[in-house]
Chains A and B, each alone.
Chain A
Amino acid sequence: QVQLQESGPGLVKPSETLSLTCAVSGASISYSYWSWIRQPPGKGLEWIGHISYSGSTNYNPSLKSRVTISVDTSKNQFSLKLSSVTAADTAVYYCARAPHPTVNFDFWGQGTLVTVSS
């Protein structure tokens, strides 16, 4: 069974960089596509971007200028960095897997709440 677990600071100051890591178990990160998705409190889901097993990335254009997703195959994990955050970036951040870029997300992490506040 594939399991994903997000980790990182729960509080980030405005204008700083949000950094999260997703540890993957039960599957090799050297296969599939690995995404970050967020959900502001009480709102819907927004896809942030993904990274492939080969390290190629694709980002939501609305966030592209601030987002970096990277992978560490030695630790079987991938990471998200979102720069210049504001209160609008407050959300539950999920990591998720899609076996292929043209299929659905099949496994999700439990999510982690990140609050942007001074």
Chain B
Amino acid sequence: DIQMTQSPSSLSASVGDRVTITCRASQGISNSLAWYQQKPGKAPKVLLFAASRLESGVPSRFSGSGSGTDYTLTVSSLQPEDFATYYCQQYYSALYTFGQGTKLELK
């Protein structure tokens, strides 16, 4: 199965900061990558798919990039509602796997 390694596992930042989360796959996944945001007690919500395509209704401060095995999620200017846990997920293989998550906390 394809292992997804996210970094960092936690991140402290302030409102207005620009933050980047990285996800590395154990093999190339041809941009078959989604990013999800999860708030406590809620189901994950998709933010981006195909590595860089923004889901409808998601603010444009979220962006994604990458290719091959390395991908990033960037939030250009953090808003109070962005403090949450973020997961990457590959769907290149039919054995879907997630990164271990990045908890974004208010500094």
**A-B pairs under 8 A by CB, number:** 50
Chain B residues with Cβ below 8 Å from A45 are 44, 87, 89, 98, 101
Interface footprint category on B = 20 to 34
Chain B residues with Cβ below 8 Å from A104 are 34, 46, 49, 89, 91
Q: Is A84 an interface residue (CB 8 A)?
A: no
- Determine the distance from Cα of A73 to Cα of B97 in the docked complex, in whole angstroms: 27
Interface footprint category on A = 20 to 34
Q: Which A residues, 86 to 111, have Cβ-Cβ distances below 8 Å to chain B?
A: 94, 96, 98, 101-106, 108-111
Per CB-CB distance, the 6 closest pairs between chain A and chain B, nearest first, are A104-B34, A108-B43, A47-B96, A45-B98, A104-B49, A44-B100
Q: Do the beta carbons of A44 and B87 come within 8 Å of each other? A: yes
